[in-house]
Every structure is written in C-alpha cells, then in structure tokens.
Amino acid sequence: MCGSIIGPRSEDVRACRTGITVKGFPLEHILRIRNLSKTYHRGAIPIHVLRGIDLSVRTGEFVSIVGRSGSGKSTLLNLLGGLDTPDEGTIIIDGEELAAAGPRALALHRRRTVGMVFQSFNLIRSRTAIENVTLALAFGEYPRAKRRDRASSLLDSVGLLHRVDHRPGELSGGEAQRVAIARALANDPFVLLADEPTGNLDSATSSEIIDLLEKLNREDGLTVLMVTHDHGGARMVSNRVLTLLDGQVVDEEVVTR
Amino acid sequence: MRFGDVGRLALENLWRTRLRTVLTTLGVVIGIGALVSMVSFGSGIQHNIASEFRELELFTLIQVLPGDVDLSDPLAAGMRAMEEGVETLDDETLAALRAVPGVALAYPEVSFPARLEFDGESAQTTVRALPAAIGEFKPFSELPYGAFFGSDGDAAIVVSQSLLEDLGIRLTDVPATAGRAHGDTTVTYAMLHSDEVLGRTLTLHTAVVDARSLMRQVASFEIPSGDLPVREEITELTIVGILERAGGFTSIGLGGQAIVPPETAEEIPRLAVSSVWDLIGGGGGDAGYSSISVRVRSMRDLDTVKGEIEGMGLSTVTIADHLEDIRSAFVVMDALLGAVGTIALLVAGLGIANTMVTSILERTREIGVMKAIGGGEWDIRRIFFVEAAAIGLMGGVLGLVLGWLVTRLANAIANAYIRPYGVPATDLFHMPLWLILGAVGFSVVISLLAGIYPAARAARVDPVTALRHD
C-alpha cells in the first residue's frame, strides 16, 4: 500500500498509514471535526451555512457527502481545505488544529496536507497540463530538476501522458479533471478533497473520474472526501455517505464494498 | 516557494501580457530617460566648469584686494577707504606677498584700454600687463601658437585669437603658398597662417592727456569742442604668441585679449584710470595697485597662503570661493532638472500601479487557484513585487540607454550650432557612475513602491471568492 503514485513521504510511518500514533494522535483518524459552524452575512441577514458538524474520517476511507444545493457541502470542503476559516468548532487534520491557524499555517496545510479538486477544474489556462502540475510542485518547493519527471509520472498515473503539453483549452472536460487530480496529488497529500468533481462532466466521463478516485483510494490508500450530487454513484465507491441538510448531517450510511 | 520560482513566474506573467508590459515599461523608460538626460546636463555643466578651472590652474590663483573690502558694495567701501584709509596695495605689499611661503608669483593687476592696429585694421581692447614668469602657468605655458614672452622688459605682445578676428584675421593651417578660401560670408577675414602673424609688429595706440592743449583751453575759457585735450601715443610691439580664443569660462579671472610685459607696460604712456580703485588709490606705482594676483605653488597651499594674506589685513578672493557660490547655484539647478525627471518617473510609477491592479482583476481566479494549490500570501505578494521590480529594472536600464542617446543627440546638435562660432567641441553632458546606478536604483525603488498596493491586494485575495470568479 505504500508509495505508488502518491510516492513515499519522508515519514514512512505516515505513508504506510499503519495505526501507529504520531504526536500522540491516533493515526486511525486522519480527520476529526467537532461542532463546526460557519455563518455568512448577506448584508444584515446571517446565513448559517454550517451548524455544528461533527465528523471523523479514518485513514484510507472514502467518504462522500451528498445534499441539495446550499446545504453547506462546499463550505465544509473549503474549511477542510484551509481556504476558509470556521466561526466555531475544531478541525484536526493529521494532528494539526486548523480552525485557529493563521494564513501561513493554512497555506502550508493546503500545500502539504490536502489536495483539492473542483467542479470547474480550476486549471490555469495559460499553462500546459504539465506546467499546471509543476506549479503545484514549485509551491511545495519540490526540487526543480525533478519536477518534470514527477509531473509526468503523475499525469501518467491518471492516464494523460499523451496530453502533457496541451493547454486546458485543448483538453476535454474529463482530461482537464484528470490534470486537476494529478495536480492535487503533486505534493503527496493525506487527504484528497473533491468538490463535485463530476459536476461538469457527462455520465460516461463522470464514471471514469469516479473510478480513478476509487482506484487511488483502493490502491494507494488515499483518503478521499468527495462532495457530490450523485447519490447513486457515491454509494458505488464510498465507505460512507453523509447527507447534509441546512448545515447539519442528517443521515450517515455505511456502505459495504 | 523558492525565489527562483517566484522570479520565473513573474517573468512568465509579464511575457504573457507582453503588450501591456511593453507599454508600462515604456512609461518608465521615458521617465528615466528624462531624468538621466536632465541630470547629466546639469552635471555636465558643473563638470566642464570645474575641469576648465583645473585646466587653467585657476585654483592656484588668489586675488588680493586692499583691506576690509566689502565686495558687495565696492563704491561704499571705496568712500570709506577714502575717509578712513585702509591697507593699500603698494610695492611694499607686493614684496611682502612674494615673501609668503608657498607663493610662486605675485604681480599687480595692471590693465588699460588701447587701440591696436595691424595690417591696416584696428580694434579697441583692454591690454593687460602680466609678468613673464606667469608663462609657466596654464594657459600661458601652452599657447597654441608661438610662446609667452621671456622677459618683463620685452617689446612683445601676446594676443588672443578673438582679438585677431577683431582685426580681420583668421588663422589657418594652410601655409601661405597654397590657395585659400574665405571662411565667412558676412565678414571677410584674411586667412593667415600663424607664421604670417608671429614675429610681426603691431602698433598700440594709447590716449594721454595733452597738457599743452588742456592748458590752452583752460586759459582761454574755451569750451572743449570736438578736439578733446587728448593726444595719441604709439608703441610698436612684436607679436610673440597667440592665445586660445578668449571666451566662455576661460575669461573668468583672466580677461584680456592682449598681454604685454609689465616693464613695457610701465613705459607705455597712457591715462592711468581704469577702475574705481585707481581713482581712490591714484592708480599704480607708488600710490598703490587696484589688486594683486598671487599664484601659489600648489592647490594645497591655497588655504594657508590665503590665511596668511588675510592676516596682513588684506582681502582675498579665490576661484574656490566663487566655485562654492556656483556650486550652490547648481544644487538648485540640479534639483529643478531632477524634479522634472522625477515627476515623469512618478507618473510612470502610477502607470505601473495601474497595470498591476488591472492585472490582479484579470488574474483573480488564477490567484485563487495558486492559493488553493498551496501558494501563501507571501508567495503571491512576492510574485507581484518581482513583476513590478522587473518592469522598473527593464525601464531603468532602457531609460538609461534612451537618456544616453538623447544626450548624444543633443550634444551633436548643440555642437553643430556652436562650431561655426569657433567654440571648440565640448561634451555638454556628463554621466557619472552615481547617476547610472542611481537612475536604475531609483527606477526599481519607484516601481516597488508602485507595487506595494497591488501586491498587498493580490495577497489578500480570498480564495473562496476568487475560485467562484469568472
């Protein structure tokens, strides 16, 4: 289970995700959320997007989050990704408290701990597929001489070796999302956060992307949190499916794969 | 993110929007070009004056004036001197000055008006008496034609090229035997080789009071009509040397178009009034001199000798004193010239800020993506700063090139204009190293200042909002 495309990290302990504790924290739970709340203000009107979410995710788990638009799924993922900060509650990922972290610590978190995949791919249009991946490696201060090799092998592992020098505009939706996944894996994260990764894709391509995520989870032990509309598709690959409604977890279904 | 990656990203971004980058940089180029050419003009003038002074060894010259002279109001000082009597300049003073250690030469200032005649042409000028010993000093030691007279009693004269022109003569390198063209269309000059001038006799006409005629007029209560009681005396002198054209800065402290030895000057009959000091002091000889020039052996002696002379109750003026005044005037001029360039550069700075803010609006989503994949605020800020600095550096270097080209062009045009007047070619501009480094540095600093706000704004972009941005 160690290595493969995610690559061995310096700390083998973490890479192998055995149940050994690091800093006194049981590695079994890579992610713990307690009483997480987030409120946005539209003018004077407060919108309670998340209202006291509790969630624990085990290392190597595939968790899907479903729910209607506006149920708070994406906000939850943004908080886990360190793109936003909660008003209340705690987020502990890989033993680190995220809720109270400053901008520098959040940047490090986004760089090292999580990898994010979005519905609209969010590739940089002026850069080729491989350059999008090497940019992430540059932020991760990966040795410059080895960046292209690593980016190539990442793109190879998502089946895009033949498209490395194409710009996003020249790629199909499925191909673009594969580049985005390769980029999310560039700095060898513990958790992959996928925010409706198939939302912009046709059903056939959606299945391919879901299969790719499932393969990464199954073969490489990558922990995956996926927000999706597709409840049926989610049940096929996930260990658990959570349903969010009005900022609260209203249903949790454990799937036996 | 490592700095090399920051730099590469910044340059990639600039390249991506190259038209805008070029236009923005052009603003800086023009600003720096203006600044550099303006300041190098101011610097060039100072440089030329200082080097000319040095060239003429004027830094070794001390002008000695009677004691307690208020130079700002010579007339009042003169009146006071008449009433109270001050330390005057006489032969005794001259001897005392010659005895001061470090003094190479001390000679009284004697000059008088005269009409010079040569080859049937004549010109009015001021004749100065200078000792033969000054021939060791520049510019007299390096006369372009002939040589300075060797003894104080020679019946010799050194004339300037401008005086020769007043006498209708222009020097040419073409020997006498060859055919010559006339140089000027408005004034016809005789084109002569220096050998045709040197060694020839020039007549000097001076006016003296005709005592008999004056007496006659006074005795008969005759109102002087037409005939003034003045008679002309003629002295013949040999032209031994020709000075460079007097003019520009060379005339400061030197003056004079014609120079004769002092003992010869003594024998030339003339009216002895040439300045207010002559009226007060009686004009030369035993009665006193208007001023005495002192040459020190080296510039280092200047201050000690000056102090010693002032200790004798005399006043002194040195070129260094003048230079201080000139220098402070130049500080003002430089500031004005620099200000024009700086304004141009500040406008260019606003251009940079504008370009970068526009660029942030365009790249909001991209900044969000960079943050999502691990870019920190620090990284984003640095990328924008480097973009601004790169524009500043490119603009600074190219602006320097532009400024240099402008000064070369302006110099060529200016020289083309003044050459017909016989002024030797001079470089009007001076670009010292501090200006080169300072201009580029200033450009980068202004660009960085212009980049502060855009960089901070880019760093603060909220990734959640940015990723929803289209």
C-beta of residue B186 within 8 angstroms of C-beta of residue B294: no
- CB atoms under 10 Å from CB of B366, counted, come to 23
Q: Which residues of B23-45 are buried (b: 16+ CB within 10 A; e: fewer)?
A: ebbbbbbbbbbbbbbbbbbbbbb
CB A38 within 8 Å of CB A215: no
Nearest CA-CA distance, residue B372 and chain A, Å: 6
Under 8 Å CB-to-CB from B365, ≥6 apart: which residues? A122, B466, B467, B469, B470
Which residues, in sequence order, are CB contacts of A151 under 8 Å at separation 6+? A130, A133, A134, A137, A164, A182, A186
Q: Which residues contact A40 (CB under 8 A, 6 or more apart)?
A: A46, A47, A49
Residue pair B223/B241 in contact (Cβ under 8 Å)? The answer is no
Q: Which residues of A touch B372 (CB under 8 A)?
A: 81, 83, 110, 116, 118, 122
Confidence of residue A7 (pLDDT cuts 50, 70, 90): very low
Contact call for residues A129 and B369 (beta carbons, < 8 A):
no
Check residue B132 and give its pLDDT: 86
pTM for this one?
Answer: 0.69
Smallest CA–CA separation between A142 and chain B, in Å?
A: 9
Region of poorest pLDDT, from A109-113, B10-14, B208-212, B462-466: B208-212
Question: Which are the contacts of B50, defined by CB distance < 8 A and separation ≥ 6?
Answer: B323
Shortest distance between the Cα of B5 and any Cα of chain A, in A, equals: 7
Mean per-residue pLDDT for B288-306? 82
3-class DSSP state of B169: strand
Who has greater pLDDT, B125 or B188?
Answer: B125
Q: What span, in angstroms and rounded, lies between the C-alpha atoms of B441 and B448?
A: 11
| Cα nearest neighbour of A180 on chain B | B373
Q: Closest Cα of chain B to A70: distance in Å?
A: 15
From chain B, the residues in CB contact with A116 under 8 A are 372-373
One-letter amino acid for residue A196 of the chain: E
B151-176 pLDDT per residue, tens: 888 888 988 888 888 888 888 776 65
- What residues in A contact B371, CB-CB < 8 Å? 83, 107, 110
- Rounded Cα distance between B69 and B80, Å, is 10
Which pLDDT belongs to residue A217?
93
* A98 neighbors A106 (Cβ within 8 angstroms): yes
Q: What is the pLDDT of residue B152?
A: 85
How far apart CA B345 and CA B339 sit, in angstroms, is 10
- Report CB contact under 8 Å: B373, A116: yes
Give the closest residue to A168 by CA, choosing from A157, A154, A182. Answer: A182
Q: How far apart are CA B34 and CA B398, in angstroms?
A: 12
Q: What is the pLDDT of residue A14?
A: 43
Identify all chain B residues contacting A124, using CB atoms and an 8 Å cutoff.
366, 369-370
> What is the phi/psi pair of residue B272, to 5°?
-95, 15
Residue A19: its pLDDT value, please?
Answer: 41
pLDDT band for position B181 (cuts 50, 70, 90):
low
Residue B83 predicted with pLDDT over 80: no
What was the pLDDT predicted at A137? 95
Least confident span in A189-203, A230-244, B182-196, B264-278: B264-278
- Secondary structure letter of residue B289 according to DSSP: B
Is A126 in contact with B378 (Cβ distance < 8 A)? no
Longest dimension (CA), chain A: 52
The pLDDT of residue B248 is above 70: no
Q: How crowded is residue B317: how many other Cβ atoms within 10 Å of its Cβ?
A: 17
pLDDT at residue B276, as a whole number: 43
Helices within chain A (DSSP H only)? 12-16, 73-80, 103-112, 129-139, 144-157, 173-184, 203-220, 231-237
Higher per-residue confidence, B288 vs A224: A224
Cβ within 8 Å, pair A122-B372: yes
φ, ψ of residue B413 to 5 degrees: the values are -65, -50
Which among B16, B376, B464 is the nearest to A107, CB-wise? B376
pLDDT over 70 percentage in chain B: 80
Residue A23 pLDDT exceeds 80: no
Q: Are A226 and A234 in contact (CB under 8 A)?
A: yes
Tell me if A138 and B369 make a contact (CB, 8 A cut-off): no
| Helices and strands in chain A, H and E counts | 8, 10
A104, A116, A126 member nearest B372 (Cβ): A116
* Count of C-beta atoms within a 10 Å radius of residue A51: 16
- Tell me the residue ranges of DSSP E strands in B148-277: 156-160, 169-172, 190-193, 201-209, 230-243, 258-260
Which residues of B make CB contacts under 8 Å with A? 1-2, 4-5, 9, 16, 365-366, 368-379, 463-464, 467
Compute the distance between CA of residue A97 and CA of residue A118 in angstroms, rounded to an integer: 24
For residue A139, list chain B residues with Cβ-Cβ distance below 8 A: 1, 370, 373-375, 379
Q: CA-to-CA distance for A115 and A213, rounded, in angstroms?
A: 12
Interface mutation target, options B365, B373, B377, chain A, most CBs of A under 10 Å: B373
Percent of chain A with pLDDT over 90: 73
Contact between B255 and B26 under an 8 Å Cβ cutoff? The reply is no
Closest CA to B230 of B205, B209, B215, B204: B209
Q: Residue A16's pLDDT is what?
A: 41
pLDDT by residue (tens digit) across B327-363? Answer: 788 788 888 888 888 888 888 889 888 888 888 888 8
- Stated as kind and residue range, the H or E segment containing B82 is helix B74-84
Can you tell me the distance from the alpha carbon of A230 to that of A237, in angstroms, rounded to the nearest whole number?
11
Q: What is the dihedral of CA A151, A152, A154, A157, to 10 degrees?
A: 170
The mean pLDDT value for B121-138 works out to 84
Interface residue ranges in chain A relative to chain B, Cβ cutoff 8 Å: 78, 81, 83-84, 103-104, 107-108, 110-112, 116, 118, 120, 122-124, 126, 135-136, 138-141, 144, 183-184, 186-187
Residue whose pair of structure tokens reads 């192998």 in the numeric block:
A16
For residues A245 and A71, is the Cβ–Cβ distance under 8 A? yes
Q: How far apart are CA B379 and CA B1, in angstroms?
A: 6
Check whether the bond before A168 is cis (ω within 30° of 0): no
For chain B, the straight-line distance linking the first and the last C-alpha, in angstroms and rounded, comes to 26
At residue B272, does pLDDT exceed 60? Answer: no
Residue B379 has φ and ψ, to the nearest 5°, of: -65, -50
Pair of tokens at residue A150: 């690593």
Mutation target to probe the B interface, by most B beta carbons within 10 A, among A109, A110, A187 is A110
- For the segment A225-253, the average pLDDT, to the nearest whole number, is 92
Check residues B192 and B381 and name the one with the higher pLDDT.
Answer: B381
Best residue of A49, A124, A135 to probe chain B, by most B CBs closer than 10 Å: A135
B60: helix, coil or strand? helix
In the numeric block, which tokens belong to residue B152? 């104080």
**Which residues neighbour A95 within 8 Å (Cβ) at sequence distance 6 or greater?**
A22, A23, A25
The larger pLDDT score, comparing residue B215 to residue A54, is at: A54
The helix or strand, by DSSP H or E, that contains position A238, with its residue range, turns out to be: none
Question: ipTM > 0.90?
Answer: no
pLDDT confidence of residue B327: 74
Q: How confident is the model at residue B224 (pLDDT cuts 50, 70, 90)?
A: low
Residues of B in contact with A104 (CB under 8 A): 376-378
* Among the partner residues B373, B464, B467, nearest to A139 by beta-carbon distance: B373
| Chain B residue numbers touching A103 (CB-CB < 8 A) | 376-377
Q: In angstroms, rounded to a whole number, what is the distance separating the alpha carbons of residues A30 and A91?
A: 11
Task: Residue B4: list chain A partners with CB under 8 A.
Answer: 144
Record: contact B372-A108, CB cut-off 8 A: no
AA identity, residue B396:
G
Report the gap between the CA of A194 and the closest CA in chain B (Å). Answer: 12
What is the DSSP track for B88-117? -B-HHHHHHHHHSTTEEEEEE-EEEEEEEE
Query: Quick one: pLDDT at residue A24?
Result: 42
Q: Tell me the count of A-B CB pairs closer than 8 A.
A: 71
Give the confidence band of A116 by pLDDT, cuts at 50, 70, 90: very high
Q: What does the pLDDT read at residue B73? A: 61
Highest mean pLDDT among A230-234, B270-274, B422-426: A230-234
β-partners of residue B64 are B292, B316
